[in-house]
Protein backbone atom coordinates (compact mmCIF):
# COMPACT_ATOMS: atom_id res chain seq x y z
CA UNK A 1 0.00 0.00 0.00
CA UNK A 2 2.79 2.36 0.95
CA UNK A 3 4.60 1.43 -2.28
CA UNK A 4 1.47 2.20 -4.33
CA UNK A 5 1.07 5.59 -2.63
CA UNK A 6 4.71 6.35 -3.19
CA UNK A 7 4.35 5.55 -6.91
CA UNK A 8 1.32 7.86 -7.17
CA UNK A 9 3.17 10.67 -5.43
CA UNK A 10 6.14 10.17 -7.72
CA UNK A 11 3.91 10.23 -10.80
CA UNK A 12 2.14 13.39 -9.61
CA UNK A 13 5.48 15.05 -8.91
CA UNK A 14 6.80 14.06 -12.35
CA UNK A 15 3.65 15.37 -14.00
CA UNK A 16 3.90 18.67 -12.11
CA UNK A 17 7.53 18.98 -13.10
CA UNK A 18 6.78 18.29 -16.77
CA UNK A 19 3.92 20.83 -16.77
CA UNK A 20 6.13 23.42 -15.17
CA UNK A 21 8.86 22.64 -17.67
CA UNK A 22 6.42 22.93 -20.58
CA UNK A 23 5.12 26.23 -19.25
CA UNK A 24 8.68 27.43 -18.85
CA UNK A 25 9.46 26.45 -22.48
CA UNK A 26 6.51 28.47 -23.69
CA UNK A 27 8.11 31.63 -22.31
CA UNK A 28 11.60 31.85 -23.77
CA UNK A 29 13.81 34.72 -22.65
CA UNK A 30 13.71 37.92 -24.63
CA UNK A 31 16.34 38.09 -27.36
CA UNK A 32 19.05 40.69 -27.35
CA UNK A 33 19.22 43.48 -29.89
CA UNK A 34 20.38 42.26 -33.34
CA UNK A 35 24.10 42.65 -33.93
CA UNK A 36 25.36 44.52 -36.99
CA UNK A 37 27.27 42.68 -39.69
CA UNK A 38 30.83 43.98 -39.91
CA UNK A 39 33.36 42.91 -42.51
CA UNK A 40 36.98 44.07 -42.62
CA UNK A 41 37.84 46.19 -45.62
CA UNK A 42 38.78 44.17 -48.69
CA UNK A 43 41.76 44.79 -50.92
CA UNK A 44 40.62 44.85 -54.54
CA UNK A 45 42.97 44.65 -57.50
CA UNK A 46 42.67 44.25 -61.25
CA UNK A 47 45.43 42.53 -63.20
CA UNK A 48 46.58 43.61 -66.67
CA UNK A 49 44.60 40.76 -68.19
CA UNK A 50 41.47 42.17 -66.49
CA UNK A 51 41.18 39.44 -63.84
CA UNK A 52 39.78 40.86 -60.60
CA UNK A 53 41.19 39.96 -57.19
CA UNK A 54 39.59 40.42 -53.76
CA UNK A 55 41.46 39.74 -50.51
CA UNK A 56 39.65 39.88 -47.18
CA UNK A 57 41.25 39.15 -43.81
CA UNK A 58 38.57 37.38 -41.80
CA UNK A 59 38.29 35.10 -38.77
CA UNK A 60 40.72 33.74 -36.20
CA UNK A 61 41.18 30.20 -37.51
CA UNK A 62 44.32 29.79 -39.66
CA UNK A 63 42.38 28.75 -42.77
CA UNK A 64 41.83 30.30 -46.17
CA UNK A 65 38.93 29.94 -48.61
CA UNK A 66 39.80 30.45 -52.28
CA UNK A 67 37.26 30.75 -55.10
CA UNK A 68 37.91 31.49 -58.76
CA UNK A 69 34.53 32.64 -60.05
CA UNK A 70 34.02 32.87 -63.80
CA UNK A 71 31.05 34.62 -65.41
CA UNK A 72 30.15 31.51 -67.32
CA UNK A 73 27.29 29.16 -66.64
CA UNK A 74 23.98 27.90 -67.90
CA UNK A 75 23.07 31.40 -69.10
CA UNK A 76 25.77 31.01 -71.76
CA UNK A 77 24.30 27.84 -73.24
CA UNK A 78 22.48 27.84 -76.56
CA UNK A 79 19.09 26.15 -77.12
CA UNK A 80 20.85 22.92 -78.09
CA UNK A 81 23.56 23.14 -75.40
CA UNK A 82 21.61 22.50 -72.21
CA UNK A 83 23.91 21.11 -69.48
CA UNK A 84 26.99 21.72 -71.65
CA UNK A 85 28.18 24.07 -68.90
CA UNK A 86 27.79 21.23 -66.38
CA UNK A 87 29.72 18.84 -68.62
CA UNK A 88 32.49 21.43 -68.99
CA UNK A 89 32.63 21.97 -65.21
CA UNK A 90 32.94 18.23 -64.57
CA UNK A 91 35.73 17.88 -67.13
CA UNK A 92 37.66 20.77 -65.57
CA UNK A 93 38.60 18.43 -62.71
CA UNK A 94 40.06 15.80 -65.04
CA UNK A 95 43.62 17.04 -65.27
CA UNK A 96 45.63 19.90 -66.76
CA UNK A 97 48.32 20.29 -69.40
CA UNK A 98 50.94 19.30 -66.78
CA UNK A 99 48.98 17.28 -64.20
CA UNK A 100 46.83 14.17 -64.50
CA UNK A 101 43.51 14.10 -62.67
CA UNK A 102 45.07 11.77 -60.10
CA UNK A 103 47.92 14.22 -59.56
CA UNK A 104 45.46 17.08 -59.08
CA UNK A 105 43.58 15.08 -56.46
CA UNK A 106 46.75 13.89 -54.70
CA UNK A 107 48.30 17.34 -54.61
CA UNK A 108 45.10 18.86 -53.20
CA UNK A 109 44.83 16.06 -50.61
CA UNK A 110 48.44 16.59 -49.54
CA UNK A 111 47.41 20.13 -48.58
CA UNK A 112 44.35 18.89 -46.68
CA UNK A 113 41.85 20.06 -49.29
CA UNK A 114 40.13 19.10 -52.51
CA UNK A 115 39.27 20.93 -55.70
CA UNK A 116 35.57 21.71 -56.08
CA UNK A 117 33.81 22.92 -59.22
CA UNK A 118 30.23 24.19 -59.08
CA UNK A 119 28.21 25.37 -62.07
CA UNK A 120 25.26 27.72 -61.59
CA UNK A 121 23.06 29.85 -63.82
CA UNK A 122 25.51 32.72 -64.23
CA UNK A 123 28.81 31.54 -62.77
CA UNK A 124 31.21 28.64 -62.51
CA UNK A 125 33.28 28.52 -59.32
CA UNK A 126 36.51 26.58 -58.85
CA UNK A 127 37.82 26.55 -55.30
CA UNK A 128 39.16 24.95 -52.16
CA UNK A 129 39.57 25.54 -48.41
CA UNK A 130 42.98 24.90 -46.83
CA UNK A 131 45.08 25.76 -43.81
CA UNK A 132 46.81 29.11 -44.23
CA UNK A 133 50.23 27.52 -44.65
CA UNK A 134 49.06 25.80 -47.84
CA UNK A 135 47.27 28.78 -49.38
CA UNK A 136 50.03 29.65 -51.86
CA UNK A 137 50.32 26.05 -53.06
CA UNK A 138 46.57 25.70 -53.50
CA UNK A 139 46.45 28.97 -55.44
CA UNK A 140 48.95 27.59 -57.94
CA UNK A 141 47.04 24.34 -58.29
CA UNK A 142 43.68 26.04 -58.83
CA UNK A 143 45.19 28.44 -61.35
CA UNK A 144 46.47 25.48 -63.35
CA UNK A 145 43.08 23.73 -63.20
CA UNK A 146 41.09 26.71 -64.41
CA UNK A 147 43.52 28.21 -66.95
CA UNK A 148 45.15 25.08 -68.45
CA UNK A 149 42.50 22.34 -68.32
CA UNK A 150 43.12 19.19 -70.32
CA UNK A 151 39.40 18.50 -70.92
CA UNK A 152 40.27 14.93 -71.95
CA UNK A 153 38.18 13.01 -74.46
CA UNK A 154 38.96 9.81 -72.55
CA UNK A 155 36.73 10.88 -69.62
CA UNK A 156 33.82 12.23 -71.64
CA UNK A 157 31.74 9.04 -71.79
CA UNK A 158 32.10 8.35 -68.06
CA UNK A 159 31.06 11.86 -67.06
CA UNK A 160 28.25 11.93 -69.59
CA UNK A 161 26.94 8.63 -68.19
CA UNK A 162 26.74 10.25 -64.73
CA UNK A 163 24.83 13.20 -66.16
CA UNK A 164 22.45 10.87 -68.00
CA UNK A 165 21.69 9.05 -64.74
CA UNK A 166 21.04 12.37 -63.00
CA UNK A 167 18.84 13.47 -65.87
CA UNK A 168 16.74 10.30 -65.70
CA UNK A 169 16.27 10.73 -61.95
CA UNK A 170 15.42 14.43 -62.00
CA UNK A 171 13.00 14.20 -64.92
CA UNK A 172 11.06 11.48 -63.11
CA UNK A 173 10.69 13.22 -59.76
CA UNK A 174 7.70 15.51 -59.16
CA UNK A 175 10.05 18.23 -57.92
CA UNK A 176 12.12 18.08 -61.09
CA UNK A 177 9.03 18.12 -63.29
CA UNK A 178 7.62 21.09 -61.39
CA UNK A 179 10.90 23.04 -61.61
CA UNK A 180 11.16 22.44 -65.37
CA UNK A 181 7.62 23.62 -66.06
CA UNK A 182 7.89 26.57 -63.69
CA UNK A 183 11.21 27.80 -65.17
CA UNK A 184 9.76 27.56 -68.67
CA UNK A 185 6.65 29.51 -67.67
CA UNK A 186 8.62 32.30 -65.95
CA UNK A 187 11.64 32.67 -68.26
CA UNK A 188 10.35 31.37 -71.60
CA UNK A 189 13.05 30.81 -74.23
CA UNK A 190 15.79 32.45 -72.16
CA UNK A 191 18.50 30.01 -70.96
CA UNK A 192 17.08 30.34 -67.43
CA UNK A 193 13.93 28.66 -68.75
CA UNK A 194 15.77 25.54 -69.95
CA UNK A 195 16.01 23.19 -67.03
CA UNK A 196 16.82 19.82 -68.63
CA UNK A 197 18.29 18.62 -71.92
CA UNK A 198 16.86 15.72 -73.83
CA UNK A 199 18.73 12.45 -73.56
CA UNK A 200 19.61 12.72 -77.25
CA UNK A 201 21.01 16.21 -76.78
CA UNK A 202 23.23 15.14 -73.92
CA UNK A 203 24.48 12.14 -75.87
CA UNK A 204 25.38 14.33 -78.86
CA UNK A 205 27.99 16.48 -77.08
CA UNK A 206 31.56 15.92 -78.19
CA UNK A 207 34.80 16.91 -76.51
CA UNK A 208 35.14 19.61 -79.17
CA UNK A 209 31.81 21.07 -77.99
CA UNK A 210 33.21 21.21 -74.46
CA UNK A 211 36.49 22.79 -75.55
CA UNK A 212 34.68 25.35 -77.70
CA UNK A 213 32.41 26.25 -74.79
CA UNK A 214 35.47 26.67 -72.56
CA UNK A 215 37.27 28.88 -75.10
CA UNK A 216 34.19 31.04 -75.63
CA UNK A 217 33.36 31.56 -71.96
CA UNK A 218 36.44 31.11 -69.77
CA UNK A 219 39.24 33.62 -69.39
CA UNK A 220 40.74 36.26 -67.13
CA UNK A 221 38.38 38.98 -68.34
CA UNK A 222 35.45 37.07 -66.83
CA UNK A 223 37.25 35.93 -63.66
CA UNK A 224 37.08 37.17 -60.09
CA UNK A 225 39.41 35.51 -57.57
CA UNK A 226 38.33 35.71 -53.92
CA UNK A 227 40.67 34.95 -51.01
CA UNK A 228 39.10 35.16 -47.55
CA UNK A 229 40.53 34.05 -44.19
CA UNK A 230 43.80 34.29 -42.31
CA UNK A 231 46.74 34.84 -44.64
CA UNK A 232 49.97 36.76 -45.00
CA UNK A 233 49.91 39.78 -47.30
CA UNK A 234 52.57 38.14 -49.45
CA UNK A 235 49.76 35.92 -50.78
CA UNK A 236 48.73 38.84 -53.01
CA UNK A 237 51.96 38.33 -54.98
CA UNK A 238 51.33 34.58 -55.20
CA UNK A 239 47.86 35.11 -56.64
CA UNK A 240 49.11 37.75 -59.06
CA UNK A 241 51.89 35.47 -60.27
CA UNK A 242 49.52 32.51 -60.68
CA UNK A 243 46.92 34.37 -62.76
CA UNK A 244 48.65 37.26 -64.53
CA UNK A 245 49.46 35.19 -67.66
CA UNK A 246 45.98 33.73 -68.09
CA UNK A 247 44.51 34.60 -71.48
CA UNK A 248 41.97 37.39 -71.31
CA UNK A 249 39.27 35.59 -73.23
CA UNK A 250 36.02 37.28 -74.18
CA UNK A 251 34.04 39.86 -72.24
CA UNK A 252 30.99 38.66 -70.27
CA UNK A 253 27.78 38.41 -72.25
CA UNK A 254 24.83 40.03 -70.50
CA UNK A 255 21.56 38.27 -71.27
CA UNK A 256 18.99 39.77 -68.92
CA UNK A 257 15.49 38.43 -69.63
CA UNK A 258 12.57 40.83 -69.76
CA UNK A 259 10.05 39.41 -67.31
CA UNK A 260 6.38 40.31 -67.09
CA UNK A 261 4.18 38.81 -64.36
CA UNK A 262 1.27 36.99 -65.95
CA UNK A 263 -1.15 34.33 -64.82
CA UNK A 264 -0.45 30.85 -66.14
CA UNK A 265 -1.37 27.35 -65.07
CA UNK A 266 0.36 24.03 -65.72
CA UNK A 267 -0.94 20.70 -64.45
CA UNK A 268 1.34 17.68 -64.93
CA UNK A 269 -0.39 14.36 -64.43
CA UNK A 270 1.14 11.70 -62.14
CA UNK A 271 -1.57 9.04 -61.88
CA UNK A 272 -1.77 7.50 -58.43
CA UNK A 273 0.33 10.22 -56.75
CA UNK A 274 -0.49 10.58 -53.04
CA UNK A 275 0.90 14.12 -53.00
CA UNK A 276 0.71 17.20 -55.21
CA UNK A 277 3.85 19.24 -55.79
CA UNK A 278 3.12 22.97 -56.00
CA UNK A 279 5.09 25.95 -57.35
CA UNK A 280 3.33 29.33 -57.18
CA UNK A 281 5.07 32.62 -57.93
CA UNK A 282 6.08 35.44 -60.24
CA UNK A 283 8.95 37.84 -61.13
CA UNK A 284 9.87 40.44 -58.48
CA UNK A 285 12.48 43.23 -58.17
CA UNK A 286 16.16 42.12 -58.16
CA UNK A 287 18.72 42.90 -55.43
CA UNK A 288 19.67 46.26 -56.98
CA UNK A 289 16.13 47.54 -56.38
CA UNK A 290 15.39 49.65 -53.29
CA UNK A 291 12.40 47.36 -52.73
CA UNK A 292 14.49 44.19 -52.54
CA UNK A 293 15.20 44.21 -48.80
CA UNK A 294 11.58 45.02 -47.83
CA UNK A 295 10.63 42.20 -50.22
CA UNK A 296 13.01 39.82 -48.42
CA UNK A 297 11.39 40.78 -45.10
CA UNK A 298 7.94 40.17 -46.57
CA UNK A 299 9.08 36.76 -47.82
CA UNK A 300 10.33 35.70 -44.39
CA UNK A 301 7.08 36.78 -42.77
CA UNK A 302 4.87 35.19 -45.43
CA UNK A 303 6.57 31.86 -46.16
CA UNK A 304 10.35 31.99 -45.85
CA UNK A 305 10.76 31.35 -42.12
CA UNK A 306 9.66 28.37 -40.04
CA UNK A 307 7.24 30.57 -38.10
CA UNK A 308 5.93 32.28 -41.24
CA UNK A 309 2.23 32.69 -41.92
CA UNK A 310 1.82 30.16 -44.72
CA UNK A 311 3.82 27.56 -42.80
CA UNK A 312 1.78 28.13 -39.65
CA UNK A 313 -1.43 27.85 -41.65
CA UNK A 314 -1.00 24.80 -43.89
CA UNK A 315 1.56 22.92 -41.79
CA UNK A 316 0.89 23.62 -38.11
CA UNK A 317 -2.84 24.36 -38.12
CA UNK A 318 -4.18 22.19 -40.94
CA UNK A 319 -1.53 19.51 -41.46
CA UNK A 320 -1.73 19.71 -45.25
CA UNK A 321 2.05 19.51 -45.71
CA UNK A 322 5.25 18.99 -43.79
CA UNK A 323 7.72 21.49 -45.18
CA UNK A 324 6.31 24.36 -47.25
CA UNK A 325 8.53 27.36 -47.85
CA UNK A 326 8.98 30.40 -50.03
CA UNK A 327 12.02 32.30 -51.21
CA UNK A 328 13.21 35.13 -53.42
CA UNK A 329 15.44 33.47 -56.03
CA UNK A 330 17.97 35.73 -57.74
CA UNK A 331 19.83 35.48 -61.03
CA UNK A 332 21.76 38.14 -62.93
CA UNK A 333 19.72 41.35 -62.50
CA UNK A 334 16.42 39.46 -62.16
CA UNK A 335 14.55 37.72 -59.35
CA UNK A 336 11.39 35.72 -58.75
CA UNK A 337 9.40 34.81 -55.67
CA UNK A 338 7.64 31.52 -55.24
CA UNK A 339 6.02 29.36 -52.63
CA UNK A 340 6.51 25.63 -52.89
CA UNK A 341 4.95 22.72 -51.07
CA UNK A 342 4.16 19.03 -51.35
CA UNK A 343 0.61 18.60 -50.08
CA UNK A 344 -1.67 15.61 -49.67
CA UNK A 345 -3.63 14.95 -52.87
CA UNK A 346 -7.03 15.32 -51.23
CA UNK A 347 -6.26 18.85 -50.00
CA UNK A 348 -4.47 20.28 -53.05
CA UNK A 349 -7.21 22.83 -53.71
CA UNK A 350 -7.70 23.77 -50.04
CA UNK A 351 -3.95 24.23 -49.63
CA UNK A 352 -3.85 26.61 -52.58
CA UNK A 353 -6.84 28.47 -51.16
CA UNK A 354 -4.99 29.03 -47.89
CA UNK A 355 -1.79 30.13 -49.64
CA UNK A 356 -3.71 32.73 -51.65
CA UNK A 357 -5.63 33.75 -48.54
CA UNK A 358 -2.39 34.51 -46.68
CA UNK A 359 -1.02 36.52 -49.60
CA UNK A 360 -4.24 38.52 -49.89
CA UNK A 361 -4.35 39.12 -46.14
CA UNK A 362 -0.93 40.72 -46.26
CA UNK A 363 -1.94 42.81 -49.30
CA UNK A 364 -4.96 44.18 -47.44
CA UNK A 365 -3.57 44.83 -43.98
CA UNK A 366 -0.09 45.37 -42.56
CA UNK A 367 1.37 42.95 -40.01
CA UNK A 368 1.49 43.95 -36.38
CA UNK A 369 4.62 45.70 -35.17
CA UNK A 370 5.36 42.80 -32.80
CA UNK A 371 5.09 40.13 -35.51
CA UNK A 372 7.24 42.13 -37.88
CA UNK A 373 9.88 42.84 -35.24
CA UNK A 374 10.24 39.13 -34.53
CA UNK A 375 10.82 38.43 -38.23
CA UNK A 376 13.32 41.29 -38.56
CA UNK A 377 15.27 40.09 -35.54
CA UNK A 378 15.36 36.59 -37.03
CA UNK A 379 16.61 37.89 -40.38
CA UNK A 380 19.25 40.10 -38.83
CA UNK A 381 20.55 37.31 -36.62
CA UNK A 382 20.52 34.73 -39.39
CA UNK A 383 22.36 37.07 -41.76
CA UNK A 384 25.19 37.50 -39.26
CA UNK A 385 25.35 33.77 -38.47
CA UNK A 386 25.41 32.54 -42.08
CA UNK A 387 28.19 35.01 -42.87
CA UNK A 388 30.34 34.01 -39.91
CA UNK A 389 32.54 31.75 -42.07
CA UNK A 390 34.93 32.61 -44.88
CA UNK A 391 32.75 30.65 -47.31
CA UNK A 392 29.72 32.69 -46.25
CA UNK A 393 31.63 35.93 -46.74
CA UNK A 394 32.61 34.88 -50.26
CA UNK A 395 28.96 34.09 -51.09
CA UNK A 396 27.96 37.61 -50.08
CA UNK A 397 30.86 39.25 -51.91
CA UNK A 398 29.89 37.30 -55.02
CA UNK A 399 26.30 38.51 -54.73
CA UNK A 400 27.42 42.13 -54.45
CA UNK A 401 29.75 41.84 -57.45
CA UNK A 402 27.39 39.89 -59.70
CA UNK A 403 24.45 42.20 -59.03
CA UNK A 404 26.48 45.42 -59.16
CA UNK A 405 25.48 46.46 -55.64
CA UNK A 406 27.14 49.37 -53.81
CA UNK A 407 30.21 48.56 -51.66
CA UNK A 408 28.35 49.28 -48.41
CA UNK A 409 25.38 46.99 -49.24
CA UNK A 410 26.52 44.23 -46.88
CA UNK A 411 27.31 46.59 -44.04
CA UNK A 412 23.92 48.27 -44.38
CA UNK A 413 21.89 45.08 -44.81
CA UNK A 414 20.97 44.59 -41.14
CA UNK A 415 20.14 48.30 -40.51
CA UNK A 416 18.02 48.34 -43.66
CA UNK A 417 16.15 45.20 -42.56
CA UNK A 418 15.44 46.78 -39.19
CA UNK A 419 14.11 49.93 -40.89
CA UNK A 420 11.30 48.05 -42.67
CA UNK A 421 7.87 49.08 -41.32
CA UNK A 422 4.51 47.29 -41.35
CA UNK A 423 3.28 49.69 -44.04
CA UNK A 424 6.36 48.87 -46.15
CA UNK A 425 5.47 45.18 -46.02
CA UNK A 426 1.88 45.81 -47.05
CA UNK A 427 2.99 48.12 -49.88
CA UNK A 428 5.41 45.51 -51.22
CA UNK A 429 2.77 42.78 -51.03
CA UNK A 430 0.17 44.93 -52.75
CA UNK A 431 2.60 46.11 -55.43
CA UNK A 432 4.32 42.86 -56.34
CA UNK A 433 2.50 39.79 -55.01
CA UNK A 434 -0.71 39.69 -57.00
CA UNK A 435 -2.03 36.09 -57.03
CA UNK A 436 -3.88 36.86 -60.26
CA UNK A 437 -0.53 37.41 -62.00
CA UNK A 438 1.22 34.33 -60.66
CA UNK A 439 2.32 31.15 -62.38
CA UNK A 440 0.91 28.00 -60.80
CA UNK A 441 2.50 24.63 -61.54
CA UNK A 442 1.08 21.48 -59.94
CA UNK A 443 2.35 17.93 -60.40
CA UNK A 444 -0.11 15.32 -59.15
CA UNK A 445 -2.97 12.93 -59.89
CA UNK A 446 -5.03 14.89 -62.41
CA UNK A 447 -8.13 12.75 -61.95
CA UNK A 448 -8.27 13.70 -58.26
CA UNK A 449 -7.07 17.32 -58.30
CA UNK A 450 -8.30 18.81 -61.58
CA UNK A 451 -11.64 19.93 -60.15
CA UNK A 452 -9.96 21.21 -56.98
CA UNK A 453 -7.74 23.50 -59.03
CA UNK A 454 -10.40 24.85 -61.39
CA UNK A 455 -10.66 28.25 -59.61
CA UNK A 456 -6.91 28.78 -60.02
CA UNK A 457 -6.73 27.53 -63.60
CA UNK A 458 -9.42 30.00 -64.70
CA UNK A 459 -7.77 33.15 -63.34
Q: What percent of the chain has pLDDT over 90?
A: 88
Give the pLDDT confidence of 47-89 residue by residue, as tens digits.
Answer: 999 999 999 999 999 999 999 999 999 999 999 999 999 999 9
Strand-pair category, 264-269 with 439-444: parallel
226 by Cβ neighbours in 10 Å (0-12 / 13-18 / 19+) ranks as buried
Angle (CA) 110 114 119, round 5°: 160
Query: What is 264-457's CATH topology?
Result: Cytochrome Bc1 Complex; Chain A, domain 1 (3.30.830)
Instruction: Give the per-residue pLDDT at 40.
Output: 80
Contact criterion met (CB below 8 Å) for 199 and 32: no
What percentage of the chain exceeds 70 in pLDDT?
92
pLDDT band at 17 (very low <50, low <70, confident <90, very high): very low
Residue ranges covered by each domain of the chain: 43-243, 264-457
Buried b (16+ CB within 10 A) or exposed e, 285-314: bbbeeebbbbbbbbbbbbbbbeebbbbebb
Whole-number average pLDDT of the chain: 93
Of 222, 219, 225, 250, the residue nearest 240 (C-alpha):
225
- Residue-wise pLDDT tens digits, 389-434: 999 999 999 999 999 999 899 999 999 999 999 999 999 999 999 9
Can you give the pTM of this predicted structure? 0.90
Q: Give the fold, CATH level 3, of 43-243.
A: Cytochrome Bc1 Complex; Chain A, domain 1 (3.30.830)
Whether residue 294 is predicted with pLDDT greater than 50 in this model: the reply is yes
User: Three-class SS of residue 265?
Assistant: strand
pLDDT in tens, 231-284: 999 999 999 999 999 999 999 988 899 999 999 999 999 999 999 999 999 999
Q: Does the pLDDT at position 21 exceed 50?
A: no
According to the model, what pLDDT value does residue 15 have?
42
* Cα(459)–Cα(438) distance, integer angstroms: 9
pLDDT at 85: 98
Average pLDDT over residues 203-219: 98
Distance from C-alpha of 195 to C-alpha of 201, rounded to nearest angstrom: 13
Is residue 29's pLDDT more than 90? no
Confidence band for 458, pLDDT divided at 50, 70 and 90: confident
Q: Would 43-243 and 264-457 be classified into the same CATH topology?
A: yes
Amino acid sequence: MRSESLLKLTAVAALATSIAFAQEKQKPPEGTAPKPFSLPASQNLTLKNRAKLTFTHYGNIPKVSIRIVIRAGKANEGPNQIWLADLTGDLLKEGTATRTSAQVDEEAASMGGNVNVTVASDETAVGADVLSEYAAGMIKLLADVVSHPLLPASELDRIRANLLRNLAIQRNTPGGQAEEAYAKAIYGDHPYGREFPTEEMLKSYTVDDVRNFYRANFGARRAHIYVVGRFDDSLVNDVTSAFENWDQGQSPVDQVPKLTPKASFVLIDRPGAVQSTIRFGLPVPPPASSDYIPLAVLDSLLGGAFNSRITANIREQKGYTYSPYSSVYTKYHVAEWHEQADVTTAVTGPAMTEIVKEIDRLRKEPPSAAELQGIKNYMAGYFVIRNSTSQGVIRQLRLVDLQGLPPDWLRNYVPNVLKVTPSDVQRIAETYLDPNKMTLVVVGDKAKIDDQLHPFASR
